[in-house]
């Protein structure tokens, strides 16, 4: 297991489907990221304000407050609007991607997305700003 | 004053009528002596010829004296004063008696003729033509302007009268006053007769003529040429007629004689009755009486003319009636004329067929004729019974006696009135309505049929509208169903992705060694899970693509790009597969213009085609050739040396879920949706996708696209 360090980037994974949430969380930790999790929009906003993550991985279709609404509120709040939001959606129909971008998402990724590919996209968004966790190896 | 009076006299003189002249002649005929004849003439001149004063003087040549014997407008003493010897050769009146016929004395200054004071006068000679000495003078005051024709006429008349008087037997007459009276009476009787009476001697010379006869057969010297000629003609005609009578022609001396009225110029027709008279002193002569039958002849002619006219009119009426009969008979409609009693007086042939019984016809025909007659009589009597109605129209149900068929007729009856408004006849025209009724029936049938047809058309139209509405609803439902299907597929795809995402994720993570090192069999099995999950994902993606295209939810985004670059990108992306296949992949790209179309879709097509080529080529090579074709088109061909596709399957492979081998144990993977999607995308880009292939000889897929996609 990689050692956790305060300087490692913190990713808030928001998804109501536990299998997906825990899968990405596990892989991110494996790749050297710190990980926080939220099951819905309300929890996501709460944790974002509290933990100030370096990036939020946001599923769009969720109960209570969905990804679109949560992103809008985060981007409307001065304390959280600087946090990049990467949206994940199972809907491949055009329209979902546009509406997510207009809600304030910085990047929209369509499911299914392999953990390995996701890390690549996340690293692109964070860029050189955060310390990049050491990776074991690329998938075959 | 004298001048004015004179002009009146001139005017009056010219208008002396024939009746006035006749009156003088009659008067003179009655005179038995010189003095009374002279007095009559003097008075006539004052009364009719415009003279104021007149003196008549007679010449007694045996005693050589001229003396006044009569006067008018003057006293007896005054005209008796006129007496002088004819031996005074330079006396103006002696001169007037011997020379010329008339003289006018204007303002006479000679003391020997102080007759009318100092007023002017005219003297006209009486008698004295040729060898004979003048019988006397007529002096007339005032003097006459121009030729004194009326005075001359009077002078002539007087002259003849004086000659006649002098011829009368003087002795016994003078000796026996009774005989003289008788003689005068006889003469007056002859003169009073309105018919001209003449006595001629056997030589045809006129001995005695009454006044009427003188008018016709004598002309004084001064009369107009026309009148003289008329008198001559009359004498000729009379002599001729008389000689024929003398020769014994004609019956009982009765004949017609056409003469000319000398004063009027008109024709006069006379009947001439001549009788021979023997006189012991004068010998045998002829007495002729002329009876004016001009008016009688005219009346006869008038009667003849009227009679002829009557005959003509009668003939015309007959012709008119014949024409009318012909007309009535030629009319096809029955026409019947009834008298004021309602009895039929005339009918034409068509009417005869309805109302008369043909001899030898049966009982039925007779019954029908009787019935027809009854119907008709009741119709006409309806008109007869009303005084004010002049026409009547109605329908009568008759029957044809020959066929027994119904003959419905329309009858029009009209009263014929005389000039005084009395009813003379009723004319009825019957019009056969059988045809009209049949036509009407036919029309009704047609109308019914037409209405029925119209109803059917209406029903059909309504049915059609119904069907249309149904179709429209069905189309709407289909559209809704299609949209629902698309939505369903989208939802299914999403629901499938979520678990698939987890399967793929965990498989990849585990293979990556996130959960620790794996044994070889574990790795092999996990790899199979991963491979099948990826295939499943491809399937889901392709189904989603087709759904999106069909739902019209795959928008076109036109961008400018370099095709050579895109081909490189595609080969780079598929590099891992190419490397694994061990095939040679060659790109032959010519000079290409910048493309303006949907780059993403072109890429998807090329990836698909190249993937297929790699999949179905066991050995050999794959060539990607891109070139310009024409001005606005490019072609990209993917040529392989693979297994090829039999000709029979060239169409099939573009269908959904098709591979040449569709058995479950087929040799090649893939969903079979790839080419189907390519075909749809190519169509969206307004291009074509063609296949050339032979089994075992490889395949060539050629994509042809417009360089610029116009929306």
Give the tens place of pLDDT for each residue, B373-412.
Answer: 888 888 888 887 777 778 888 888 888 888 888 888 888 8
Q: Is the pTM of this model over 0.90?
A: no
Residues carrying CATH 1.10.287.130, chain B: 433-554
CA distance B704 to chain A (A): 27
What is the Cα–Cα distance from A130 to A139, expressed in whole angstroms?
Answer: 23
pLDDT > 60? residue B620: yes
Instruction: Name the CATH architecture for the domain at B193-292.
Output: 2-Layer Sandwich (3.30)
Percent of chain B with pLDDT over 90: 19
SS3 of chain B: helix, strand, coil, percent, to 5: 50, 25, 30
pLDDT for B700 equals: 93
* Residue of A93, A120, A139 to mutate for B, most B C-beta atoms under 10 A: A93
Chain B residues touching A26 at Cβ < 8 A: 509, 514
Reported as a pLDDT band with limits 50, 70 and 90, residue A67 is confident
Residues 6+ positions from B563 with CB-CB distance below 8 Å: B589, B592, B595, B602, B626, B634, B636
Query: Quick check: B142 and B2 in contact, CB under 8 A?
Result: yes
The predicted model gives B135-155 an average pLDDT of 80
pLDDT > 70? residue B358: yes
Would you call A50 an interface residue with chain B, using a CB distance cutoff of 8 Å? no
The predicted model gives B301-326 an average pLDDT of 89
Across B611-647, b (16+ Cβ under 10 Å) vs e yields: bbbbbbbeeeebbbbbeeeeeeebbbbbbbbbbbbee
What is the domain class of B2-174 according to CATH?
Answer: alpha beta
Higher pLDDT, B350 or B247: B350
* Residue of B505, B507, B508, B515 to mutate for A, most A C-beta atoms under 10 A: B505
Query: Quick check: B84 and B66 in contact, CB under 8 A?
Result: yes
pLDDT for A5 equals: 53
Chain B residues touching A24 at Cβ < 8 A: 505
pLDDT for A100 equals: 82
- Average pLDDT in chain B: 82
Reported as a pLDDT band with limits 50, 70 and 90, residue B12 is very low
Query: Quick check: B66 and B83 in contact, CB under 8 A?
Result: yes
Domain B433-554 has CATH 1.10.287.130: yes
What is the Cα–Cα distance from B605 to B684, expressed in whole angstroms?
Answer: 12
Closest alpha carbon to B698 in B627, B619, B611: B619
pLDDT > 80? residue B656: no
Window from B178-187, B199-208, B244-253, B688-697 with minimum mean pLDDT:
B244-253
pLDDT for B536 equals: 85
Would you call A17 an interface residue with chain B, using a CB distance cutoff of 8 Å? yes
Chain A residues touching B506 at Cβ < 8 A: 23
pLDDT > 90? residue B626: yes
pLDDT for A54 equals: 92
pLDDT for B636 equals: 94
DSSP for B125-159, please give it. Answer: EES--TTSPP-EEEEEESPPSS--HHHHHHHHHHH
Residues carrying CATH 3.30.565.10, chain B: 555-706
Reported as a pLDDT band with limits 50, 70 and 90, residue B561 is very high
Higher pLDDT, B258 or B487: B258
pLDDT for B174 equals: 46
Domains of chain A (ranges plus CATH)? 10-126 (3.40.50.2300)
Higher pLDDT, B193 or B706: B706
SS3 B306: helix
Chain A residues touching B500 at Cβ < 8 A: 112
pLDDT > 80? residue B278: no
First to last CA, chain A: 21
pLDDT for A131 equals: 39
CA distance B493 to chain A (A): 8
Would you call A30 an interface residue with chain B, using a CB distance cutoff of 8 Å? yes
Instruction: Name the CATH architecture for the domain at B555-706.
Output: 2-Layer Sandwich (3.30)
pLDDT for B594 equals: 92
Reported as a pLDDT band with limits 50, 70 and 90, residue A6 is low
Residues carrying CATH 3.30.450.20, chain B: 193-292, 334-428
pLDDT > 70? residue B530: yes
B87: buried, middle or exposed (CB in 10 Å: 19+, 13-18, 0-12)?
exposed
Chain A residues touching B548 at Cβ < 8 A: 93-94
Which CATH entry fits the domain spanning B334-428: 3.40.120.10, 2.40.160.40, 3.30.450.20, 1.10.40.30? 3.30.450.20
CA distance B605 to chain A (A): 19
Residues in chain A: 140
Higher pLDDT, A138 or B583: B583
The predicted model gives B359-364 an average pLDDT of 78
Percent of chain B with pLDDT over 70: 89
SS3 B8: helix
Window from B419-428, B481-490, B599-608 with minimum mean pLDDT:
B481-490
Reported as a pLDDT band with limits 50, 70 and 90, residue B659 is low
pLDDT for B11 equals: 38
Are B514 and A30 an interchain contact pair (Cβ–Cβ within 8 Å)?
yes
Beta strands in B156-196 (DSSP E): none
pLDDT for B6 equals: 39
pLDDT > 60? residue A57: yes
What is the Cα–Cα distance from B444 to B430, expressed in whole angstroms?
Answer: 25
pLDDT tens digits for B494-506? 788 888 889 999 9
What is the Cα–Cα distance from A8 to A30, expressed in whole angstroms?
Answer: 12
The predicted model gives B265-275 an average pLDDT of 84
pLDDT tens digits for B438-473? 888 999 999 999 999 999 999 999 999 999 999 999
State which of A66-80, B154-168, B202-216 shows the largest mean pLDDT: A66-80
pLDDT for B310 equals: 92
The predicted model gives B156-184 an average pLDDT of 67
Tell me the pairing of strands B121-126 and B102-105.
antiparallel
């Amino acid at each position: 297991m990689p050692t956790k360090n305060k300087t490692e980037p913190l990713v808030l994974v928001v998804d109501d489907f536990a299998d997906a949430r825990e899968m990405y969380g596990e892989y991110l930790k494996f790749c050297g990221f710190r990980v926080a999790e939220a099951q819905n929009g309300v929890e996501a906003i709460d944790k974002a304000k509290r933990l100030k993550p370096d990036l939020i991985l946001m599923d769009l279709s969720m109960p209570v407050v969905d990804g679109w609404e949560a992103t809008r509120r985060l981007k409307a709040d001065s304390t959280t609007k600087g946090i990049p939001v990467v949206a994940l959606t199972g809907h491949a129909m055009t329209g979902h991607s546009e509406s997510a971008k207009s809600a304030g998402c910085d990047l929209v990724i369509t499911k299914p997305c392999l953990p390995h590919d996701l890390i690549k996209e996340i690293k692109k968004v964070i860029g050189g700003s955060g310390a990049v966790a050491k990776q074991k190896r690329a998938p075959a | 004053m004298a001048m004015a009076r004179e002009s009146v006299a001139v005017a009056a003189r010219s208008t002396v009528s024939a009746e006035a002249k006749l009156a003088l002649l009659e008067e003179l005929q009655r005179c038995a002596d010189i003095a009374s004849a002279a007095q009559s003439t003097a008075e006539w001149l004052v009364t009719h010829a415009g003279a104021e004063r007149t003196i008549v003087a007679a010449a007694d040549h045996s005693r050589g004296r001229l003396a006044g014997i009569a006067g008018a407008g003057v006293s007896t003493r005054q005209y008796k004063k006129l007496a002088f010897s004819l031996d005074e050769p330079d006396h103006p009146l002696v001169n007037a008696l011997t020379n010329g016929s008339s003289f006018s004395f204007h303002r006479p200054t000679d003391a020997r003729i102080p007759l009318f004071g100092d007023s002017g006068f005219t003297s006209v000679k009486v008698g004295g033509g040729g060898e004979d000495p003048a019988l006397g003078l007529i002096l007339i005051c005032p003097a006459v302007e121009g030729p004194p024709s009326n005075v001359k006429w009077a002078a002539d008349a007087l002259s003849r009268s004086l000659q006649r008087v002098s011829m009368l037997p003087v002795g016994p007459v003078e000796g026996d006053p009774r005989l003289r009276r008788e003689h005068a009476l006889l003469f007056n009787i002859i003169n009073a007769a309105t018919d001209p009476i003449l006595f001629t001697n056997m030589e045809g010379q006129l001995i005695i003529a009454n006044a009427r006869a003188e008018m016709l057969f004598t002309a004084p010297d001064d009369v107009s040429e026309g009148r003289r000629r008329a008198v001559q003609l009359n004498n000729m005609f009379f002599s001729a007629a008389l000689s024929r009578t003398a020769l014994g022609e004609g019956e009982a001396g009765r004949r017609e004689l056409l003469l000319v009225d000398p004063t009027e110029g008109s024709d006069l027709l006379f009947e001439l009755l001549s009788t021979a008279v023997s006189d012991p002193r004068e010998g045998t002569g002829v007495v002729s009486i002329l009876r004016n039958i001009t008016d009688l002849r005219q009346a006869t002619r008038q009667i003849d003319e009227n009679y002829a006219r009557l005959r003509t009119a009668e003939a015309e009426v007959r012709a008119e009636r014949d024409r009318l009969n012909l007309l009535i008979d030629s009319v096809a409609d029955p026409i019947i004329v009834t008298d004021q009693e309602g009895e039929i007086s005339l009918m034409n042939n068509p009417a005869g067929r309805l109302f008369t019984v043909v001899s030898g016809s049966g009982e039925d025909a007779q019954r029908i004729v009787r019935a027809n007659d009854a119907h008709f009589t009741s119709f006409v009597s309806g008109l007869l019974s009303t005084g004010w109605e002049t026409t009547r129209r109605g329908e009568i149900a008759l029957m044809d006696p020959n066929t027994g068929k119904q003959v419905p007729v329309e009858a029009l009856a009209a009263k014929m009135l005389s000039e005084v408004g009395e009813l003379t006849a009723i004319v009825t025209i019957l019009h056969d309505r059988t045809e009209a009724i049949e036509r009407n029936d036919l029309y009704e049938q047609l109308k019914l049929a037409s209405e029925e047809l119209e109803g059917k058309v209406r029903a059909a139209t309504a049915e059609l509208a119904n069907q249309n509405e149904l179709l429209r609803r069905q189309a709407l439902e289909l559209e809704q169903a299609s949209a629902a299907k698309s939505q369903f597929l989208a939802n299914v795809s999403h629901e499938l992705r979520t678990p698939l995402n987890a399967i793929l994720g965990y498989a990849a993570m585990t293979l990556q060694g996130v959960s620790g090192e794996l044994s070889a069999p574990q790795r092999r099995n996990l790899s199979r899970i991963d491979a099948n999950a990826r295939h499943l994902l491809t399937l889901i993606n392709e189904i989603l693509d087709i759904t999106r295209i069909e739902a019209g939810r795959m928008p076109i985004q036109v961008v400018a790009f370099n095709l050579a670059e895109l081909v490189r990108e595609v080969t780079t992306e598929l590099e891992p597969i190419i490397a694994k296949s061990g095939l040679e992949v060659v790109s032959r790209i010519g000079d290409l213009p910048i493309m303006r179309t949907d780059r993403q879709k072109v890429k998807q097509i090329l990836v698909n085609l190249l993937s297929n080529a790699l999949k179905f080529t066991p050995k050999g090579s794959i060539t990607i050739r891109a070139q310009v074709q024409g001005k606005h088109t490019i072609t990209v061909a993917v040529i392989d040396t693979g297994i090829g596709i039999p000709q029979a399957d060239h169409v099939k492979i573009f269908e959904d879920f098709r591979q040449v081998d569709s058995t479950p144990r087929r040799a090649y993977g893939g969903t079979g949706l790839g080419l189907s999607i390519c075909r749809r995308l190519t169509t969206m880009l307004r291009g074509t996708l063609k296949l050339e292939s032979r089994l075992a000889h490889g395949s060539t897929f050629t994509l042809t696209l417009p360089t610029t996609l116009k929306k």
